[in-house]
Chains A and B, each alone.
Chain A
Amino acid sequence: MKSVRARVFLVLVTAVVAFGIAMSLRVPPSGATTRGARSALRGTIRVSGAWALYPMMVVWAEEFRKANPGVQVDVSAGGAGKGATDALGGMVEIGMVSRDIHPEEAKKGGFWIPVVKDAVLPAASAANPVAKELATRGVARKTFSALWVEGKPLTWGDVVGKPKVKEAVRVYTRSDACGAADTWAKYLGKRQEDLKGVAVYGDPGLAQAVQRDKFGIGYNNLNYAYDARTGKPVAGLVMIPIDINGDGKISKSESFYRTRAEMKKAIASGAYPSPPARDLNLLTKGKPTGLTREFLLWILRDGQRYVDRAGYIELPKPKLDAAKKKLG
Chain B
Amino acid sequence: MTRQLRDRLSAVGMGSAALFCVALAASIAVALVLRSRPMLAESSVTRLLTSSSWRPLAGEFGFFPFIVGTLCVSGLAMALGIPVCLLSSLYLTEYAHSHLRSVARPVLDLLAAIPPVVFGLWGVLALVPLVQKLGARFGSATTGYSVLAGGIVLAIMVFPIIIAVMQEVLLKVPLEAREASLALGATRWQTTKHVVVRAAYPGIIAAIVLGFSRALGETMAVLMVVGNVPTVPRSVFDPAYPLPALIANNYGEMMSIPRYDSALMFAALILMALVLIFNIGAIVALRGIERKLA
Q: What residues of chain A lie closer than 8 Å to B16, measured between beta carbons?
A: 8, 12
A255 CB to nearest B CB, Å: 30
| Number of residues on chain B facing chain A (CB within 8 A) | 44
| In the complex, chain B residues 226-276 whose Cβ is within 8 Å of any chain A Cβ | 227-229, 239, 245, 249-258
Most chain A CB neighbours (cut-off 10 Å) among B27, B30, B35, B254: B27
A111 at the interface (CB under 8 A from B): no
User: A-side interface residues toward B, CB under 8 Å?
Assistant: 8-9, 12-13, 16-17, 19-21, 23-25, 78-85, 88-89, 102, 104-105, 108, 168, 170, 172, 175-178, 191, 193-194, 196-201, 205, 208-209, 212-213, 215-216
A21 touching B224, Cβ below 8 Å: no
From A81, A172, A175, B256 is in contact (CB under 8 Å) with A81
Establish whether residues A104 and B23, one from each chain, have CB atoms under 8 Å apart when the complex forms.
no
Q: For residue B143, which residues in chain A have a CB less than 8 angstroms away from its CB?
A: 170, 172, 198, 209, 213, 216
In the complex, which of the residues A19, A81, A89, A194 has the most CB atoms of chain B within 10 Å of its own CB atom?
Answer: A81
30 pairs, A vs B, C-beta closer than 8 Å:
A8-B12, A12-B19, A13-B19, A16-B19, A16-B27, A21-B27, A81-B250, A81-B256, A82-B252, A84-B255, A84-B256, A85-B251, A85-B254, A88-B255, A104-B258, A105-B255, A108-B255, A175-B228, A176-B252, A177-B250, A178-B252, A194-B55, A198-B239, A199-B227, A201-B223, A208-B124, A209-B124, A212-B128, A215-B141, A216-B143
> Does B145 belong to the interface (CB within 8 Å)?
yes
Query: From B248, which residue of chain A is reached at the shortest CB distance?
Result: A176
Among B23, B30, B31, B249, contact of A176 (Cβ-Cβ < 8 Å)? B249
Q: Which residues of A sit under 8 angstroms from B23, Cβ to Cβ? A: 12-13, 16-17, 20
- Give the residues in chain B near A178, CB-CB below 8 Å: 252
Given contacts A84-B256, A170-B141, A177-B253, contact A21 B30 (CB under 8 A): yes
Q: Judging by beta carbons under 8 Å apart, are B252 and A78 in contact?
A: yes
Partner of A24 from the list B20, B31, B128, B144 (CB cut-off 8 Å) is: B31
Q: Any chain A CB within 8 A of the CB of B177? A: no
Q: Which residues of B contact A208 (CB under 8 A)?
A: 124
Q: Across the interface, which residues of A come within 8 angstroms of B250, CB to CB?
A: 81, 177
Within 8 Å CB of A9, what residues of B? 15, 19
Select from chain A the residue with minimum beta-carbon distance to B265. Answer: A24
Nearest neighbor of A199 in chain B, beta-carbon distance:
B228
Contacts of B228 in A (CB 8 A): 175, 198-201
A74: min CB distance to chain B, Å: 18
CB A9 to nearest CB in B, in angstroms, measures 7
Q: In the complex, what residues of B have CB within 8 A of residue A20's CB?
A: 23-24, 26-28, 30-31
Contacts A13-B19, A20-B31, A198-B143 aside, 15 further interface pairs with beta carbons under 8 A come to: A12-B20, A21-B31, A23-B31, A81-B251, A81-B254, A84-B256, A85-B254, A89-B255, A104-B256, A193-B57, A197-B229, A199-B239, A205-B224, A208-B124, A213-B144
Closest Cβ of chain B to A210, distance in Å, is: 10
Decide: B132 and A24 in contact? CB cutoff 8 A: no
Q: Which residues of A contact B79 (CB under 8 A)?
A: none
Q: Which residues of A contact B56 (CB under 8 A)?
A: 193
Q: How many angstroms between the C-alpha atoms of A21 and B33 in the bound complex?
A: 10
